[in-house]
């Protein structure tokens, strides 16, 4: 069985995320997704984030991404530690996701293939937040 691993904040689940999960699942037989706890999202994205709590984000993934995500694990942001514990054969990173050298080293040491997946143009959390802000601004 080919075991894959991906991670992220998934602050506002959108079609781009679902595309990512579906594409990842075509390259492995079992996909585990790590999802950042609220505190680690704040550290990464700033004080206004996450927009949704981890419970809401996990529920959204379990509801909408069930065909592709086999397991969902909340974590504190230490993705290298989580990857080392899970020992995947394939690690999936987003096209724009900065992958720290220590994480890449962990993956290489485990003989884990690193695959960067493309994106679905026009779909990102940043675009969703911008669109939401523009519709709520007074004219």
In this prediction, residue 78 carries a pLDDT of 86
pTM for the model: 0.83
The string of DSSP letters for the chain reads --EEEEEE--SS--HHHHHHHHHHHTT-SEEEEEEE-HHHHHHHH-TT--SS-HHHHHHHHHHHSTTT--EEEEE-S-HHHHHHHH--SEEEEETT----HHHHHHHHHTT-EEEEE---TT--HHHHHHHHHHHHS--
Distances (CA, A) of 137 to 20, 66, 134: 31, 35, 5
Give yes or no for a cis peptide into 39 (omega within 30° of 0). Answer: no
Token match 């690193």: residue?
114
- The pLDDT of residue 62 is 96
The predicted structure's pLDDT at residue 102: 84
Backbone dihedral region for residue 132 (phi beyond 0: left; psi -120 to 50: alpha; all else: beta)? alpha
Q: Which residue segments constitute the domains of the chain, with CATH numbers given?
A: 3-136 (3.40.50.620)
5 touches 32 (CB < 8 A): yes
Residue 101 is predicted with a pLDDT of 83
pLDDT at 104: 84
What is the predicted pLDDT for the residue at 118?
Answer: 78
Over its length of 139 residues, how does the chain's per-residue pLDDT go in tens digits?
999 999 999 989 999 999 999 999 999 999 999 999 999 999 998 999 999 999 999 999 999 999 999 999 999 988 888 999 999 999 999 877 677 788 888 899 999 999 999 776 554 555 454 555 556 555 4
CA torsion through residues 19, 23, 24, 29, sign: positive
């Amino acid at each position: 069985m080919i075991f894959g691993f991906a991670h992220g904040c998934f602050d506002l689940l959108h079609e781009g995320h679902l595309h990512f999960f579906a594409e990842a699942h075509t390259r492995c037989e079992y996909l585990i997704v790590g999802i950042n706890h609220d505190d680690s999202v704040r550290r990464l994205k700033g004080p206004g984030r996450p927009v949704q709590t981890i419970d809401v984000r996990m529920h959204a993934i379990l509801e909408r991404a069930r065909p592709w995500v086999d397991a969902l694990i909340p974590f504190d942001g230490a993705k290298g530690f989580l990857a080392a514990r899970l020992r995947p054969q394939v690690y999936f990173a987003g096209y724009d996701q900065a992958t720290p050298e220590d994480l890449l080293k962990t993956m290489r040491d485990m003989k884990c293939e690193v695959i960067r997946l493309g994106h679905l143009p026009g779909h990102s959390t940043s675009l969703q937040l911008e669109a939401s802000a523009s519709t709520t601004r007074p004219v």
